[in-house]
Chains A and B, each alone.
Chain A
Amino acid sequence: MSELGRYQPLGYFQLMEVSLRELLVEKGVLTEEAIAATVEDIRSRTPARGARVVARAWTDPAFLQRLLENGTRACEELGLDVPALRLVVVENTPAVHNVIVCTLCSCYPRMLLGIPPDWYKSRNYRSRTVREPRAVLAEFGLRLPDGVQVRVHDSTADMRYLVLPMRPAGTEGWSEQRLAAIVTRDCMIGVALPRAA
């Protein structure tokens, strides 16, 4: 059933991308090397970046404080540049669970999590997360007790959000690197919790 190797005509947007790219190169606005380097740069940004930030916050209370006060500046300390946009880090506690959505389009902390998953951009996730967040989280396998407040962050303008999950029990004494390995993309969007497994 694989489509691999089968000839597929270009879709509308693919054709537009190729046409625009070729025109920009032909007119000397961009070079093929510059485009390839940019694509490579985008691909190099993965959720491992965000996980480093979370692991540092779990192990360094002073960093945690700075991260909550000014997410952008705290990331710069780790050598992670968060260009132009401001990063707001929202902290999960035993009483509050945070989850991120962009109802208008697909705003996402790409500098820390890379390219968003397709479901994040889906109409289903975008419309239902503000309307019935507990039902959406349950579909991700995350059932929150009634005692926990759900705080949805609709990323509508110039801020970008990152959820700081709670450090799970059973990780006492772990190194930052080991901690970072259990911090997944979904934990930092707020649709999952890290596990010490």
Chain B
Amino acid sequence: MVEASFKPGDRVRVRKAYPLGHVRTPCYIRGRSGVIERLCGTFGNPEELAQQRSGEPKQPLYRVRFLQREVWPDYRGREGDVVEVEIFQHWLEPA
């Protein structure tokens, strides 16, 4: 099991990587920065599970909150609108 290295309120950036395989990090959020909303727990790594492997070591999973204006530069809704996405720790780096 991998220890959680972020806490609520920390600013993080999603890695901008495009590996092959079963990845649960949506493309639209890669490379974007947000704030840790909460630690959801520790779960099997889906990229490993999809290959019929054990999913170990388990990865901390976070909900990360992003400002829509930063995700979509031409976003037309209100300034404070947000999108929250579940992201595994190995996809995050400090921002």
Interface residues of A (CB under 8 A from B): 86, 88, 103-104, 130-134, 146, 148-159
Contacts and interface: CB of A to CB of B under 8 A. Distances in A.
Interface in B18-74: 24-26, 28-29, 40-41, 43, 46, 61, 63, 68, 71-72
- In the complex, which of the residues A86, A132, A154, A157 has the most CB atoms of chain B within 10 Å of its own CB atom? A157
- Top 8 nearest A-B pairs (CB, nearest first) are A157-B86, A152-B83, A154-B85, A150-B81, A156-B86, A134-B77, A158-B43, A149-B80
17 contacts: A88-B63, A104-B24, A130-B83, A131-B28, A131-B72, A133-B77, A149-B78, A152-B68, A152-B82, A152-B83, A152-B84, A154-B26, A155-B86, A157-B24, A157-B43, A158-B61, A158-B86
B87 interface: yes
Contacts of B29: 154
A151 B77 contact: no
Contacts of B84: 151-154
A175 B14 CA distance: 46
B1 to A, nearest CB: 15
B5 to A, nearest CB: 18
A69 B78 CA distance: 28
Contacts of A103: 26, 28
A151 B78 CA distance: 11
A155 B61 CA distance: 12
Contacts of B25: 156
Contacts of A148: 78
A132 B77 contact: yes
A150 B88 contact: no
A158 B43 CA distance: 8
Nearest to A131: B72
Given A150-B68, A154-B29, A159-B61, 17 more contacts: A88-B63, A131-B72, A132-B77, A133-B77, A134-B76, A134-B81, A148-B78, A152-B68, A152-B83, A153-B84, A154-B86, A156-B24, A156-B87, A157-B43, A157-B46, A158-B40, A158-B86
